[in-house]
Copies of this chain bind each other. A is one copy, B any other.
Amino acid sequence: MKARVIVTLKDGILDPQGKAIEGALKSLGIDGIDSVRQGKIFEMELATADRTAAAGMLRGACEKLLANQVIENFQVELL
């Protein structure tokens, strides 16, 4: 089974990379993007086919390592 985990900055945490990209897009003449926030995505191959087990395992992985919960939220998607 494939899965993906998305880790993004919590609201209110400053995202200088996102801001820089916003600026760069504007100066490239690309209009219509009001705001950008950059996050990380992890694409994974899982050994299991059990969706409940997989979801639990991935949540654990996020809590233990993939996300820094002081500043980041995470989201698990099974594909």
**Given the interface contacts A21-B66, A61-B25, A65-B25, does A43 sit within 8 Å of B37 by beta carbon?**
yes
- Size class of A's contact patch? 20 to 34
Instruction: List the B residue with the shortest CB-CB distance to A25.
Output: B61
* Residue contact B38 to A38, C-beta cutoff 8 Å: no
Chain B positions within 8 Å of A34 at CB level? 44-47
Is A76's beta carbon under 8 Å from chain B?
A: no
Q: In chain A between 17 and 33, which residues have their CB closer than 8 angstroms to a CB of chain B?
A: 18, 21, 24-25, 28, 30-33
Complex Cα gap A35–B66 (Å): 14
Please give me the 5 A-B residue pairs with the lowest Cβ-Cβ distance, nearest first: A34-B45, A39-B41, A35-B45, A41-B41, A32-B47
